[in-house]
Amino acid sequence: MHTYALGRPAADRFRSRWSLALGLLLSTALSLAALLAGPPADAESPRNMCPEGSFCVWPETGFGGQPRDLALRTTGIEQCTTLETGWEALSFANNTGHPVTVYQDPHCDEEADFDTHPTGSQTPQAGYVARAIKVWSH
């Protein structure tokens, strides 16, 4: 009767080493592929797409679709400004330098949903369709 020092036949030790080497090789290849792919391409941030002094709106969540900007120079302070007829916003960015209240109602009626957003804020997904805004002086 023969006994082996490691308690396993040579063929089993070879298969075990081969499996370990193959696993390390696959792991290294996947890590290298991920490293070479680099980080995911980021879309331009809404702040960069929204000019200074403007409140920008997008028709889709996640800042998707063609943006429109409401410039502070054309928007009255503390006055309800309705978005263009037929235009509804699902995401927006405030780059006005002032707090902005966003209203679901096109006439800024507070019976519908509304929220005030500080300057520099970005909202990729509004909880309601925005139809009007009011820019505050403070």
83-118 tens-digit pLDDT: 887 788 999 999 999 999 999 999 999 999 999 999
Averaged pLDDT for residues 9-33 = 61
Structure tokens at 67: 């943006």
pLDDT band at 18 (very low <50, low <70, confident <90, very high): low
Q: Which amino acid is at 40?
A: P
Domain positions in the chain are 1-41, 46-135
59-87 tens-digit pLDDT: 999 999 999 988 877 777 899 999 887 78
pTM above 0.85? Answer: no
Please name the fold of domain 46-135: Gamma-B Crystallin; domain 1 (2.60.20)
24-60 tens-digit pLDDT: 665 665 555 554 544 444 445 554 689 999 999 999 9
Q: What is the CA radius of gyration of the chain?
A: 29
Q: What is the 3-class SS of the chain, one letter each residue?
A: CCCCCCCCCHHHHHHHHHHHHHHHHHHHHHHHHHHHHCCCCCCCCHHHHCCCCEEEEECEHHHECCCEEEEHHHCCECCEEECCCCCCECEEEEECCCCEEEECCCCCCCCCCEEEECCCCEECCCCCCECEEEECCC
